[in-house]
Amino acid sequence: MTSNTDLNDALMARARLVIPGGVNSPVRAFRAVGGTPRFVQRAHGAYFWDANDQRYIDYIGSWGPMILGHGHPAVLEAVRKAAEQGFSFGAPTEREIELAEEILSLVPSMEMVRLVSSGTEAGMSAIRLARGATGRDKIIKFEGCYHGHADALLVKAGSGLATFGNPTSAGVPPEVVQHTLVLEYNNVAQLEEAFAEHGPAIAGLIMEPIAGNMNFVRASVEFTRRCRELCTQHGALLIYDEVMTGCRVALGSAQSVYAQAIPGFEPDITVMGKVIGGGMPLAAFGGKRSVMEQLAPLGPVYQAGTLSGNPVATACGLATLREIKRPGFFESLSAKTQRLVDGLKTVAAEEGVPFVADCQGGMFGFFLLPTLPQNYTEVMKSNGEHFNQLFHALLDRGVYIAPALYEAGFVSGAHSDADIDATLDAAREAFRELPKA
């Protein structure tokens, strides 16, 4: 297979004239890996086709939502029906109740949920809610976790350990992040130090339980346990950002996986997105009734949205959740993902490439490193140049993985064993081309 990107090139040149960087979300621009982004013409099942009609096996799935693959018939039918009934009303619908009930039944730590339109909005609202409910200002977040682009969360660690952070974007005044404490993921000692110093001022701790924005890094069980204990002890709220992991790593989301190791484990607030919208702009945040009742119109914490609970988006999300609840769906998805990860490890070992990988449910990550990293600093020790070569070698062979080494991968119910075998064949050739140094 040869790569012929000319029609993508032409579209990119046109896009650059009217859209900053040619894209509506930065990572799509291939800035890290170089080359021209593929402009998607259409998608079906596990594949999409670019402007040149070149087919790719899709391991991004819109960055997580497409857990059933593209164009699942039941979802298409639900969306078509909903669209015929009306696109948006700005008034309540029964379908919003149905989706809320469905989400609560899957993630029982949530007693009430509010629907919004993006993960950013959900994360931002969860932070406001935690602050409003506790009457405190400070927030803990971890380096390498992403919670959307709300100002207070666009922050990286300062120079010392356990310091208040620095903005990671222009346009965010330092005062806006002055209450955000940025800590190292999986570092229990630092966490304890932060609570010892700032405990009574901490409104909440927000974390990705399995961090998908530094590729794939699990919170250790001990770290998770201490996050929960310290929040409880100091009256702070534990916020689980499951935008990526929600209904993706397990039907009950990452919190159900941790509850197996820590009996009774529950976060106070959960942020969801991606899979619960099935590819439509839909996200949510929810938690204990007493906390959620702080939201307007019941309580003093304001939050709103013109398109919140959109009828077409809720139909898409509802149909998606009903499909993934079918007996055997998650077992099969997990087995497929595991087969991909095991196969990649075997092929890399046979080709002499340092390689580690991990997965949970339908989410996976791999690193060109000898051992699985535990935090952002370790992730960033990956050889970026080798990753970029690998990315392009796979792309040239029709396998589409995330165009940055700090992003996770996703398998869908539509990926077949043959797709995974084809991926492993492509990976063997790609690994063979990598420098062995």
Which of 50, 58, 102, 208 touches ligand PMP (CB under 6 A)? 208
Could you give the string, one character per residue 366-405, with x where binding to ligand PMP holds by CB under 6 A and - elsewhere? Answer: ----------------------------------------
Name the minimum Å distance from CB 121 to ligand PMP.
7
Closer residue to ligand PMP, CB minimum distance, 241 or 268: 241
As beta bridge partners, residue 112 has: 287
Number of neighbouring beta carbons within 10 Å of residue 338: 15
Contact 300, 381 (CB under 8 A): no
What sign does the CA torsion over 14, 20, 21, 23 have? Answer: negative
What are the structure tokens assigned to 17, written together?
Answer: 């004239």
Q: Does residue 44 sit in helix, strand or coil?
A: strand
Q: How far is the CB of 73 from ligand PMP (least distance, A)?
A: 26
Residue 407 near ligand PMP by CB under 6 A: no
- What are the tokens at 396? 């040239």
The SS3 of residue 251 is coil
Nearer Cβ to ligand PMP (123/279):
123
Selected binder of ligand PMP within 131, 147, 392, 397 (CB under 6 A): 147
337 is a site residue for ligand PMP (CB under 6 A)? no
Instruction: Say how far apart CA 318 and CA 309 lie, in whole Å.
Output: 11
Name which of 128 and 198 has its Cβ closer to ligand PMP: 128
Give whole-number Cα distances, 386 to 159, 354, 434, in Å.
29, 11, 7
Compare residues 243 and 394 and give the one whose CB is closer to ligand PMP.
243
> Within positions 60 to 119, which residues make up the interface with ligand PMP, using CB under 6 A?
63, 118-119
Give the residue ranges of DSSP H helices in 178-252. 188-198, 221-234
> At 57, is the secondary structure helix, strand, or coil?
strand
Which among 344, 89, 128 has a CA at the least distance from the CA of 237? 128
In the complex, minimum distance from the CB of residue 360 to ligand PMP, in angstroms, rounded to a whole number? 14
CB nearer to ligand PMP: give 22 or 119. Answer: 119
- The DSSP output letter for 84 is H
Which listed residue (219, 231, 237, 244) binds ligand PMP by CB under 6 A?
244
Q: Is 212 in the site for ligand PMP (CB under 6 A)?
A: yes
Sole binder of ligand PMP in the list 47, 48, 56, 146 (CB under 6 A)? 146
Element housing 115 (H / E): strand 112-116
Q: Does 317 bind ligand PMP (CB under 6 A)?
A: no
If the CB atoms of residues 119 and 362 are measured against ligand PMP, the closer one turns out to be 119
| Residue facing ligand PMP at closest CB distance | 119
Which of 410, 91, 134, 94 has its CA nearest to residue 275? 410
- Residues touching ligand PMP: how many (CB under 6 A)? 16
Rounded Cα–Cα distance for residues 189 and 167 (Å): 24
Task: Based on the shown chain and the rule CB under 6 A, indicate whether residue 209 belongs to the binding site for ligand PMP.
Answer: no
Phi-psi region of 367 (alpha: psi -120 to 50; beta: other; left: phi over 0): beta
Tokens 């009742």, residue located = 293
The answer to whether residue 360 forms part of the interface with ligand PMP (CB under 6 A) is no
**Residues of the shown chain interacting with ligand PMP in the complex, contacts defined by CB under 6 A:** 63, 118-120, 123, 146-148, 208, 212-213, 241, 243-244, 273, 283
